[in-house]
Amino acid sequence: MKKILLVFLVIFCSCQSEKKEKTNSKIQLASQSILPPEPYFTDIKVNDVKLGKPAYGDWLFSHKEKGQSFEQFVRTKHVVPTEEENIIYLKPIGKFDSSQLKQIELVRQYLQIFFQLETKVLENASNDIIPNKARRIGDVGQEQFLAGYILTDVLKEESPDKRIALMAVTEKDLYPKPEWNYVFGLASYSEKIAVSSMYRMQKEADFNLCLERLLKICSHEIGHMFGLHHCIVANCVMNGTNSMTETDSNSIRLCSLCQRKLNSGIEYDNSKRLKELEKYFKENHLTDGLALMQKDLEKIKNK
């Protein structure tokens, strides 16, 4: 009996050891499968601006986020374009003037370059699609729409061809729930849908400042849909924001780490994307974005 027990223990320990070796091998293989950054990301990393200590009122002052490494991104399930799903859509809701319609078209052009995926604008919907139960009057007399209603009752009904991401853009202010004054936007990343309002972006802003805010917020929210978490490493368009002032101070550029994450999911030519962004910023007289792209191009021009 003792011999049988001894044999069983030897077999059991041997199996456990074999399992442990297999598990360690799998972990080692997973680590080996994540290659070092391509030269492009190493070259432009010198242009990343490290975040300073958050001040009172900043996003990171009140949100103690852990960030997301490249390894965590790769090992976490996230959206990857396929033949069946590879088009980004914008859905305007409201009565827009000619200036606002031009900004929406410019956002479409920008997102197509930023994500290197075809981007389309769907037919404009009337404000009448929002029922009274999803409307209210805000603190300064402005009409507001319930953001969640737009996600669950409007966007979920939209199923355009090959949709990978869908963002509504409203000209009315938004609120997320009765006890909140307002919200810039709201998203359901699992459903790959979001809504953003132009209302507060236009306040005390000229055409270009409003456009720049739209570009930041739309690329930020859709970036989340592709699996990017808030960036806590550098000044980046994926930084969290508590206010329009903070949004204005956040960079329109993706830092090198966030660019690497995005490019691992959406395979595109980084140099081509950078040159197209430079051209876009130049044509639309967005000087801050242009300067950032030119600094990155300077780092890779002889590569």
What's the rounded Cα separation, in Å, for the pair 282 and 13?
A: 67
Model confidence at 12, pLDDT cuts 50, 70, 90, reads very low
pLDDT at 203: 84
221 is catalytic: yes
Please tell me which residue in 118, 143, 158, 221 is annotated as part of the active site.
Answer: 221
- Mean predicted confidence (pLDDT) in 75-93: 95
pTM above 0.85, yes or no: yes
Q: What is the mean pLDDT of the chain?
A: 88
For residue 254, which of 280, 277, 285 has the smallest C-alpha distance? 277
pLDDT at 303: 61
What's the rounded Cα separation, in Å, for the pair 59 and 146?
A: 23
What does the buried/exposed string (b/e) look like for 245-257 if buried means 16 or more CB atoms within 10 Å of the residue's CB? ebbeebbbbbbbb
pLDDT at 4: 37
CB-based contact 122:158 (threshold 8 Å): yes
47: tokens are 């242009």
Amino acid letter, residue 63: H
Q: What pLDDT, in 10s, does the model give residues 110-126?
A: 999 999 999 999 999 99
- Percentage helix, strand, coil, to 5, in the chain? 50, 15, 40
